[in-house]
Amino acid sequence: MLRRAVGGYKRGSFSQLWLHRRCIHTNVIDTLRARHFVQAVTSEAITKRVETPIAVYCGVDPTASSLHLGNMVTLMGLLHFSLAGHQAIPLVGNATGSIGDPSGRNTERIALDHKELAKNVAGIEAQLIRFFSRGTQYALSRIPNLDPSSLKPVRVLHNADWYTGLGVLDFLGTVGRHARVGTMMARDSVKSRLQSVHGISFTEFSYQLLQAYDFWHLYHFHKCHVQIGGSDQWGNITAGTDLIHRMHGPQSDKSEAFGLTIPLLTTASGEKFGKSAGNAIWLDETRTSPFDIYQFFVKTADADVERFLKMFTLLPLPRIAQIIDEHARAPHSFIAQKLLATEVTELIHGPQGVQQALCATQVLFGNRQTLEEHKFTSDDFDAAFGCDQRMVKVASASVVGKSVADIAVLLGSCKSKSEATRLAKGGGLYWNGSVVVDSKWVPSVEKGDFVGDGTVGVVRTGKTNYRLLKLLDS
């Protein structure tokens, strides 16, 4: 078990403390409904139950080494619970991940070997810790009067911890005897697979029992009363609430275990996002850079931007309404999209990620004025393009007195100086966003022709061919 502290819960009147600390909603379910997070709940009594602190969990199976935006939607829901003073438990399914959840799939998942599974578990666990740490820091700058001392430590758990040593006979004797095959067969995830040409294996058919047992274990040993998940998890979640009721006997209060599902991430046109859809936006910056995260959200359609601002940011709802109103008056300025892109990039990658994304965006899509206004440093360019082959690093002495045509050839922007000359005459050669009319012009550090602390020159040919020259001390 791994614990990550983001504050300590201060005892006292929870409702009064929350009303004083956070001026948005006094009930986290109200917050989630207002932000389009609630698809369904197992009981409306959940609203009353969360008026006092409880533990809440969501599970993530390590089918990849990184989380993606589809996972982030559910994690944002869990973050809201955490910020409301509840105990958040992200659960890494290193046991269930070796089997695979059939929900939302037409075919059986490919089994992972132990080495790949261990790699994925390590990657997911690190990202969960980072997400909630950055999410808390982000929240402190967005939510008025939020006190970090009112928050409970986020606990990352692994379900292999309670499956290790649990034999098949013990599992069947404790869990299997409470399962009803008719109910299991009626789950949507099972019915759809039974009707397909591929069918469903006993392994995946049994997955719902494992997730149900996860909920029971967390309920029994960690006093976890709520499980949240995507809308495709409804069958697995209700399997858990049913198992809790059956294993605790008829005298138990079934309403003490709740499920809440969150709509799957789609655009207004119905397009899905995620690993299975083949268009995943990863939270790992080595797979999807801060620049690419920023660009994804800055291209959000007008029909989606308000919903995404509510779901992917912690901006107060009145602020979001104000932005949408401003955007409606000047949609060509993309005010809402730019704010959305900035907020999400900061939430995922921190303020430094935003700086990297803005630097790359201005280099690729801006002009000299915007580059100078942002005052990007040499380090900003290194962070944004350090692993990009389009940035060429050379000793400053080797380019002293070189013309822009020479530099264009050096960077690979042009094959020859004559090509650079032709481009300049046709208005197709740019230096730091400004048109170069004379290919013989010599950029000078002393005259301020370089940006990034006088170390970077950006050559553009045509509309989209960019190269960066980074000067190094000789």
Tens-place pLDDT, residues 284-310: 998 999 999 999 999 999 999 999 999
Could you tell me which residues are beta bridge partners of residue 53? Answer: none
Q: Which residue has the tokens 């005897």?
A: 177
Q: How confident is the model at residue 405 (pLDDT cuts 50, 70, 90)?
A: very high
Q: pTM of the prediction?
A: 0.83
- 109 versus 174: the higher-pLDDT residue is 174
| Strand 258-262 relative to strand 224-230, pairing | parallel
169: its two tokens: 């006979």
| 277 pLDDT more than 60 | no
| Strand 258-262 relative to strand 40-41, pairing | antiparallel
User: Would you tell me the crossing angle of helices 378-385 and 335-365 to the nearest 10 degrees?
Assistant: 100
Q: Measure the N-to-C terminal CA separation of the chain; round to a whole number of Å.
A: 51
Q: How confident is the model at residue 431 (pLDDT cuts 50, 70, 90)?
A: very high
Could you tell me which residues are beta bridge partners of residue 472? Answer: 395
| 312 pLDDT more than 80 | yes
Q: How confident is the model at residue 23 (pLDDT cuts 50, 70, 90)?
A: very low
Residue 441 DSSP one-character state = -
| 18 pLDDT more than 70 | no
The per-residue pLDDT for range 128-156, each reduced to its tens digit, is: 999 999 999 999 999 988 999 889 999 99
Residue pair 198/106 in contact by the 8 Å Cβ criterion: yes
The per-residue pLDDT for range 57-100, each reduced to its tens digit, is: 999 999 899 999 999 999 999 999 999 999 999 999 998 887 76
344: its two tokens: 């999400």
User: Would you tell me the crossing angle of helices 335-365 and 290-298 to the nearest 10 degrees?
Assistant: 130
CA distance 288 to 132: 19
What are the residue ranges of helices labelled H in 50-197? 69-83, 114-140, 160-163, 168-174, 181-185, 188-194
| 179 pLDDT more than 90 | no
CA distance 60 to 68: 11
| 117 pLDDT more than 60 | yes
CA distance 200 to 191: 9
Residue 34 C-alpha from the chain's centroid? 20
Q: Rounded mean pLDDT of the chain?
A: 87
| 424 pLDDT more than 90 | yes
| 260 pLDDT more than 80 | yes
339: its two tokens: 């704010």
pLDDT score for 16? 38
* Mean pLDDT for the stretch of residues 31-49: 96
pLDDT score for 201? 78
* Mean pLDDT for the stretch of residues 275-289: 80
| 12 pLDDT more than 50 | no
Least confidently predicted of 186-195, 273-282, 415-424: 273-282
Q: How confident is the model at residue 332 (pLDDT cuts 50, 70, 90)?
A: very high
| 24 pLDDT more than 50 | no
Share of the chain above pLDDT 90, in %: 64
| 198 pLDDT more than 90 | no
Name the residue among 296, 264, 263 with its Cα closest to residue 277: 264
Residue pair 62/92 in contact by the 8 Å Cβ criterion: yes
| 175 pLDDT more than 90 | no
Name the residue among 101, 109, 115 with its Cα closest to residue 61: 101
Q: How confident is the model at residue 109 (pLDDT cuts 50, 70, 90)?
A: low
| 25 pLDDT more than 80 | no
pLDDT score for 278? 58
| 26 pLDDT more than 60 | yes
* Residue type, position 256, single letter: E
CA distance 402 to 444: 9
| 432 pLDDT more than 60 | yes
